[in-house]
Structure formats: structure tokens, C-alpha cells
Amino acid sequence: MYGIYDRDKEIKEAIRAGERALGSLREAQRQLNSALYYLSDGINESVLMKGLRMR
């Protein structure tokens, strides 16, 4: 029925939306962690190579 407020339905939809948002945030965190790993690995390699060239 159109126009009738269904509190339980609204709550379930809000929970699903929150779960989707949480999943997106977790995926973003995973990708950022991966990027930071590769970035730090590249920095470490660069520092190592620079140190070797200075010897």
C-alpha cells in the first residue's frame, strides 16, 4: 500500500545500506593497505639502491 510507513522495512533497508557501505569501506581499506605496502616497498628499495651507490 502506497503511502503507509513501514518502519520495519525502512530499518531493514537502512541496515542493508549500512552493510553495503561497510563492505565498500573495507575494500577501500584493503586497497589502501596494498598501495601503502607497495609504496613503502618502493621507498625501501630506492633508499637501499641510493645507499649502495654512495659506497
SS (H, E, C) the chain: CCCCCCHHHHHHHHHHHHHHHHHHHHHHHHHHHHHHHHHHHHHHHHHHHHHHHHC
Q: Report whether pLDDT(7) > 60.
A: yes
Give the structural domain span for 46: 27-55
Total domains present in the chain: 1
Q: For residue 50, is it within any domain?
A: yes
Q: For residue 4, is it within any domain?
A: no
Q: For residue 54, is it within any domain?
A: yes
Q: For residue 15, is it within any domain?
A: no
Q: Report whether pLDDT(17) > 60.
A: yes
Q: For residue 9, is it within any domain?
A: no
Q: For residue 10, is it within any domain?
A: no
The share of the chain scoring above pLDDT 90, in percent, equals 49
